[in-house]
Chains A and B, each alone.
Chain A
């Protein structure tokens, strides 16, 4: 006879052990269900997608690679977030140069500036304006490459201007007319703080913030990976390129 049943029999008076065994089994099942329930709740909450994380058709292009790639990676990030900077430099750069360039991965950038960062809303505005003239990649690189400098000074324009030809920068400056002051940001608990002085590019940032809040994004970077159109659970935080590459390889081998 198996050990748990023998133990149960030894500890209970004869004649009652069946009823008590049923009660013990029920209590054990209840404990296991309670323990698994909290985990299931987290998993279910994450896999039941509320947000369709796709780039709204009218938004400026903030993407890398071919839309036909098997893997799509949607990234919610804050230009002033140090982990996002590390993620961009250590992981996204080799990813873009390798797997995006070879058509394996398609990256979609979503702005998710956080309230805790003084200039992140404004950085998102500059990046969005740059996307409208086709200079998103160079501005994203410039902002992350010089993150420490403009975080200290608040002078984003200086670094954006050096990332592109003068003619394109003039176009961006025109788009950014009236965009003084902080841009829209996300606040804790899923809220959005609109810009005190709204400008034309804010609509796209607000769309990204709303998308992120539906996930929900609780920190940056947060990314959602789709493989052959199937959504995988969202993840957040830093991930190194070798680990991410290994994961992509396993998806591509499916």
Chain B
């Protein structure tokens, strides 16, 4: 049976990892949508930033024009939503799973393009960051954190759902022999 200290450490790491992932996704969304040089925040400036992000997506040369436009318009708001979802901690096992799948998809695409020798921007945190070993290593570490959080969240949920596995109950239960 795990000690209280070990359980608390696990819960602490779960919270820290969840918050770190939330901040990463919120920052990623912000970096893609923030106004470019000389512009103030407005609907028009966000459209321009998303159009610039579309150029980065297009440089991967993996999607059609319609596909590029879809990804560039919906990915940043989805990252914003995912960051907020992680921040709240609601249904963590599902938010962490979605996070891990999304990051895994990003990594697979970037690794594929990197192997092709293309010198392009990663586009992960806005324009300007080159796709290379450092960005791949960083994204791989994010995936590991997301997977760890997802596993931890499922384990915690399982323990809550089956109290016998997590030790004696905190409150006395009625004996089956007791009548009335």
Contact = CB atoms under 8 A, between A and B. Distances in A.
Nearest to B121: A235
**What range describes how many residues of A lie at the interface?**
35 or more
Which has the most chain A C-beta neighbours within 10 Å: B68, B127, B134? B127
A28 B51 contact: no
Interface string B95-120: 00000000000000000000000111
A35 B11 contact: no
Nearest to B10: A11
Given A218-B119, A219-B120, A246-B54, A46 B23 contact: no
Contacts of B65: 240, 242-243
Contacts of A236: 59, 119-121
B84 interface: no
A54 interface: no
Contacts of A35: 20, 23-24, 27, 138, 142
Contact of A7 (B15, B51, B90, B129): B15
Contacts of A39: 27-28, 31, 124-126, 129
A108 to B, nearest CB: 18
B55 interface: yes
B58 A238 contact: yes
Tell me whether chain A's interface is mostly helix, strand or loop, or mixed. Answer: helix
Contacts, number: 150
Interface stretch (B32-40, B146-154, B172-180): B32-40
A39 B125 CA distance: 6
Nearest to B48: A250
A18 B60 CA distance: 48
Interface stretch (A160-168, A201-209, A224-232): A224-232
B163 interface: no
Contacts of B39: 254
B59 A247 contact: no
Interface of B: 7-8, 11-12, 15-16, 19-20, 23-24, 27-28, 31, 36-39, 44-45, 47-48, 51-52, 54-56, 58-61, 65, 68-69, 88-90, 118-121, 124-130, 134, 138, 142
13 contacts: A11-B7, A11-B8, A24-B12, A31-B23, A32-B19, A36-B23, A40-B125, A42-B125, A42-B128, A43-B31, A233-B128, A237-B118, A237-B119
Given A43-B127, A239-B59, 17 more contacts: A3-B90, A7-B15, A11-B7, A24-B12, A31-B16, A38-B138, A42-B130, A43-B31, A43-B128, A83-B118, A227-B37, A234-B128, A236-B59, A243-B58, A243-B65, A246-B54, A253-B44
List the 8 closest A-B pairs by CB distance, nearest first: A219-B119, A46-B128, A39-B125, A237-B59, A42-B129, A230-B38, A32-B23, A237-B120
Interface of A: 3-4, 7-8, 11-12, 24, 27-28, 31-32, 35-36, 38-40, 42-43, 45-47, 83, 218-220, 227-228, 230-240, 242-244, 246-247, 249-251, 253-254
